Amino acid sequence: MVLLKWLLCQLVLFTALSHAFTDYLLKKCAQSGFCHRNRVYAENITKSHRSYYKLDTGSIAHDPLQNVLHATLVKTIPRLDGDDIAIEFPFSLSFLQDHSVRFVIDEKERTVANNSGLSISPQRYNKTWQYAFDEKFRNKVLNKTNSPELHFFKQEHIANSLWSKLSSFLSLSNSTRDIVHLQNGNISLDIFTEPFQLKIYLQNTLKLIVNERSFLNIEHHRTKQENFAHILPEEITFNMFKDDFLYSKQDTLPLGPESIALDFSFVESTDVYGIPEHATSLRLLDTSQSEPYRLFNVDVFEYNIGTTQPMYGSIPFMFSSSATSIFWVNAADTWVDIKYDAQLNKTMTHWVSENGVIDVVVSLEQDIPTIINRFTDLTGRPFLPPISSIGYHQCRWNYNDEMDVLSVDSQMDAHRIPYDFIWLDLEYTNDKKYFTWKSNSFPNPKRLLSKLKKLGRNLVVLIDPHLKKDYEVSDRVISENVAVKDHNGNNYIGHCWPGNSIWIDTMSNYGQEIWKSFFKKFMNLPVNLTNLFIWNDMNEPSIFDGPETTAPKDLIHDNHIEERSVHNVYGLSVHEATYDAIKSIYSSSDKRPFLLTRAFFAGSQRTAATWTGDNMANWDYLKISIPMVLSNNVAGMPFIGADIAGFAGDPTPELIARWYQAGLWYPFFRAHAHIDTKRREPYLFNEPLKSIVRDTIQLRYFLLPTLYTLFHKASTTGFPIMSPMFIEHPEFPELYGIDDQFYWGDSGLLVKPVTARDQLETEMIFPPGIFYDFASLNSFINDGTDLMKKNITTPLDKIPLFIEGGHIIAMREKYRRSSKLMKNDPYIIVIAPDAEGRAVGDLYVDDGESFGYQRGEYVKTQLVLENGHILKNDPIHIPENLVDIHSDTLRNTNIEKIIIAKNELQQNLKLKSYVAVKQDGKEYSFPSKLSYENDHKIVILNPKLDITESWELII
């Protein structure tokens, strides 16, 4: 039977190689018991206008010490005999950070009969936050949250002081409803007890309504026998105790129906974003006539485009254009319906998870960057990667042996194509046994690593969490009892690349330790070899003969936790343990890890980069890669890219050129290809393609100082690296739907990659201001107050790329073979003045590889141009021990060349014909060479100017 299933699966996968992803492997909402039940419940409740949930007013208690409000939420199931059933759910609410509210609804302890034979915990899983939240929040359980000040009023207080104000303000029809009003700084909140509802305000403006539509539904525990009595009139019983979907019929559903659901209405907005990963537009689709968005980590080879189907990663975080966000802290299979109402200027959403608790963090802010900042404060900042890892990565499934790797390495140099990482996919292993090398192909990994190291290059190898049965690694996992179990408590065996495999249980602390110990042995290299890094693939987990390509939901993890409860966070537990392993192995050299994961959850950004999985080499996948990368960028996980130039299939030369030109802007810039495709390392291309690709990759390297500065900003504030236009220009409603044109962070670089065949012209959209074509620095002005559309010619070697006036870009301009070899090169500064002759740019510099920056070993400066000719440098941070570390780590912090782009308005600005430096109010002439190219002023400084010092240059 298992074999038959496996064969069937192989067939499906094989078919998948030639077609797009086989949809029928995945459930539609109507085939998923809990999704369908909740959609029907929502429909019926809309008609009946009833609600069965109320907060018991008498139970409301405020714990002033912990600043938490506790209460009991009661669900009443009416019975004809009048013997209604009341189910209690503990409710707690607190303020988190300054502008966030967190509430949790659990189910009162669930008891199951002694003889139930259950091998899982009957309690709802309520620990997802411990994986998702950053360490600094992890140690605080909900009721230890530190809140500055919480004003708590019960109804009687409201009646005295606030009642009249509130009831007119909220236009309450039923003025006898109990309301609990809470205030914390700018945020206030009304809790309506019956029916249960929350209204959340920022500075007294209503932003979010929770349970406005009464879709709140918690399928409380009951046995199959008593089920009938526990059903509400609006409920259906579809697949409550069984699963009749073709591929998951085996699901034992040991606890029956357990789903949770709640609706959220975003007020004053008809644009919502987030909840990656989906191959759809950046602005989320209205799903009222289609499938809901699904968050469920699965392996979707050649996934379909434009659908709300689940993909490899899940971040249950959504925000609106009105800067309000929801973080649904749940790692179970989750579906989200979205309905825009233009008339009411509202977005109504409905969230449904298969089990677990309702644990929600709502944030209200003045703008979207602050929303993302809050979210990455809570779930952790994106890690600051080694600078080499934001260079170019050359990957394919597979480089066959050491010779192959070294020949790619030398060919790249021979053709002057810079790169930093070369990758080994699956086939480097001995018989797909991870933590081993195929000895005849890679007889001496240390030799390979030390050869690569000479030019500062790195090697990434793939290690997946499925482990082939019967070899020392899997044997140890079994003997240490840290394999994921089936529902009977036996080690689960499924099929993946190696055939029969087991899965490491990194949800267990001990499992993590064992996992780390494998890396310790595998990466036991000479101390000077710290250029080996890891790729965790297939960690959704992907299981070829599993339901929906993944793990059966009734598998069991450590502590009697069902896979059903933690599915979406398993991949994170794998890559976090891997990250910790690399970090500790390299601790003596203080080297920062680089790690790629395919599955992700909220919090994954702390330790890993990701990519958009198995795309195809055609134009549609190039086009969709941009909104996909943008979506992750606004959901706190910016280090992402798509396989260039499409994983499956052979791309045309034109597609290759355009894909590199788009991929250059992905935070993660990697070429990758399926094992069945033709070789396509860039030096193999004919001209002019080869030169186009080389120039593109070189441009990425020239821009590394700016990109690294953006990575630094992301690692401190969560600010997107590939950033939607509405982040920079929230004032234009039209920009909220744009996802084919974007900025690079706040650098002012504005790009619209060409993503269609034969496209020799593209229409770009420009906010008011001056825009400089990046290649020529020629400018044009949008002097209106509105957006302007303009056609840009796009011959094959041209990227539609502009610098917005008002920005300064730091670059390097010498071709070097890798990022490491650029370290000693001085900077060139490109200045794009605005209409007032002003421009600003940040520059962040550290050693690019160690954790020294966490000890203050970095330089951060801001360059400011005033009146078109005064350039000031004011370091914001320089290390205390600058002199000691300067030559060793920071290396070059000098500016050698300054280019001031010319614009039509500059006639009015004072332009100098000499360069002077100002000190103590006096001007001294500064040794330099001045020249003009197409009227753009070029200054070569000799001596160079150091950004670690304050200076003012008159140009």
The residue type of 684 is L
> How distant is the alpha carbon of residue 876 from its chain centre?
29
Under DSSP, the state recorded for 59 is G
Q: Is 608 in the site for ligand NOJ (CB under 6 A)?
A: no
Instruction: Report yes or no: 510 and 480 within 8 Å, Cβ to Cβ.
Output: yes
Q: Which is nearer to ligand NOJ, 332 or 671 (CB)?
A: 671
Instruction: Report yes or no: 467 and 479 within 8 Å, Cβ to Cβ.
Output: no
Q: Which residues pair with 187 in a beta bridge?
A: 184, 202
Q: Which is nearer to ligand NOJ, 302 or 846 (CB)?
A: 302
Q: Which is nearer to ligand NOJ, 591 or 598 (CB)?
A: 598
Query: What is d(CA 439, CA 401) in angstroms, rounded to the nearest whole number?
Result: 10
Is 540 a catalytic site residue?
yes
Query: What is d(CA 34, CA 362) in angstroms, rounded to the nearest whole number?
Result: 24
Q: Which is nearer to ligand NOJ, 243 or 540 (CB)?
A: 540
State the minimum distance, in angstroms, from the CB of residue 435 to ligand NOJ: 15
| Subset of 801-830 contacting ligand NOJ (CB under 6 A) | none
Q: Which is nearer to ligand NOJ, 328 or 611 (CB)?
A: 611
Q: Which is nearer to ligand NOJ, 463 or 703 (CB)?
A: 463
State the minimum distance, in angstroms, from the CB of residue 234 to ligand NOJ: 42
Instruction: Report yes or no: 457 and 419 within 8 Å, Cβ to Cβ.
Output: yes
* Residue keyed to tokens 């700016």: 706
Q: Which is nearer to ligand NOJ, 532 or 843 (CB)?
A: 532
Q: Tell me which H or E stretch contains 217.
A: strand 217-218
Q: Which is nearer to ligand NOJ, 349 or 597 (CB)?
A: 597
Instruction: Report yes or no: 841 and 857 within 8 Å, Cβ to Cβ.
Output: no
State the minimum distance, in angstroms, from the CB of residue 400 to ligand NOJ: 14
Q: Is 277 in the site for ligand NOJ (CB under 6 A)?
A: no
Cβ atoms within 10 Å of 89's Cβ, excluding its own: 24
Per-residue contact track with ligand NOJ, 451 to 470, x per CB under 6 A? -----------x--------
The 749-751 sheet, strands edge to edge: 722-724, 742-744, 749-751, 801-804, 769-773, 779-782
Tokens matching residue 4: 């038959």
Q: Is 426 in the site for ligand NOJ (CB under 6 A)?
A: yes
Q: Which is nearer to ligand NOJ, 340 or 434 (CB)?
A: 434
State the minimum distance, in angstroms, from the CB of residue 311 to ligand NOJ: 11
Q: Is 614 in the site for ligand NOJ (CB under 6 A)?
A: yes
State the minimum distance, in angstroms, from the CB of residue 294 to ligand NOJ: 19
State the minimum distance, in angstroms, from the CB of residue 672 to ligand NOJ: 6
Phi-psi region of 356 (alpha: psi -120 to 50; beta: other; left: phi over 0): left
> Among residues 382, 613, 641, 718, which is the contact residue for ligand NOJ, using CB under 6 A?
613
Is 614 a catalytic site residue?
yes
Q: Is 537 in the site for ligand NOJ (CB under 6 A)?
A: yes
Q: Is 359 in the site for ligand NOJ (CB under 6 A)?
A: no
The count of residues in the chain is: 955
Cβ atoms within 10 Å of 167's Cβ, excluding its own: 17
Q: Which is nearer to ligand NOJ, 462 or 899 (CB)?
A: 462
Strand 859-866 to 870-877 pairing: antiparallel
**Residue 582 φ then ψ, to 5°:** -60, -40
Per-residue contact track with ligand NOJ, 539 to 578, x per CB under 6 A? ----------------------------------------
Query: What is d(CA 699, CA 603) in angstroms, rounded to the nearest whole number?
Result: 31
State the minimum distance, in angstroms, from the CB of residue 496 to ligand NOJ: 10
Catalytic residue, chosen from 540, 576, 643, 728, is 540
Is 134 a catalytic site residue?
no
State the minimum distance, in angstroms, from the CB of residue 721 to ligand NOJ: 22
Q: Which is nearer to ligand NOJ, 613 or 682 (CB)?
A: 613
| Subset of 186-215 contacting ligand NOJ (CB under 6 A) | none
Tokens matching residue 853: 């920056």
Query: What is d(CA 751, CA 276) in angstroms, rounded to the nearest whole number?
Result: 22
| Subset of 642-701 contacting ligand NOJ (CB under 6 A) | 672
Query: What is d(CA 950, CA 920) in angstroms, rounded to the nearest whole number?
Result: 12
Catalytic residue, chosen from 243, 537, 695, 739, is 537
State the minimum distance, in angstroms, from the CB of residue 537 to ligand NOJ: 5
Q: Which residues pair with 182 in a beta bridge?
A: 152, 189
Cβ neighbors of 223 (< 8 A, separation 6 or more) are 113, 256
Q: Which is nearer to ligand NOJ, 327 or 399 (CB)?
A: 399
- How many of the chain's residues bind ligand NOJ (CB under 6 A)? 9
Strand segments (E) across 126-170: 151-153
**Residue 669, CA atoms < 13 Å, CB-side half-sphere:** 31
Q: Is 425 in the site for ligand NOJ (CB under 6 A)?
A: yes
User: What angle separates helix 689-702 from helix 704-717, to the nearest 10 degrees?
Assistant: 50
> How distant is the alpha carbon of residue 226 from its chain centre?
43
State the minimum distance, in angstroms, from the CB of residue 674 to ligand NOJ: 7
Tokens matching residue 114: 């002694």
Instruction: Report yes or no: 320 and 269 within 8 Å, Cβ to Cβ.
Output: yes
Closest CA to 150 of 181, 106, 115: 181
Q: Which is nearer to ligand NOJ, 311 or 885 (CB)?
A: 311
Query: What is d(CA 676, CA 679) in angstroms, rounded to the nearest whole number?
Result: 9
Query: What is d(CA 704, CA 799) in angstroms, rounded to the nearest whole number?
Result: 17
* Residue keyed to tokens 């987990």: 541
Catalytic residue, chosen from 219, 409, 576, 614, is 614
Query: What is d(CA 692, CA 413) in angstroms, rounded to the nearest whole number?
Result: 16
Query: What is d(CA 289, CA 274) in angstroms, rounded to the nearest whole number?
Result: 20
Sequence-separated contacts (24+) of 69-74 with Cβ below 8 Å: 69/93, 69/94, 69/152, 69/180, 69/182, 69/191, 73/105, 73/196
State the minimum distance, in angstroms, from the CB of residue 645 to ligand NOJ: 14
Residues tagged active-site: 537, 540, 614
Give contact residues for ligand NOJ (rule: CB under 6 A). Answer: 397, 425-426, 462, 537, 598, 613-614, 672
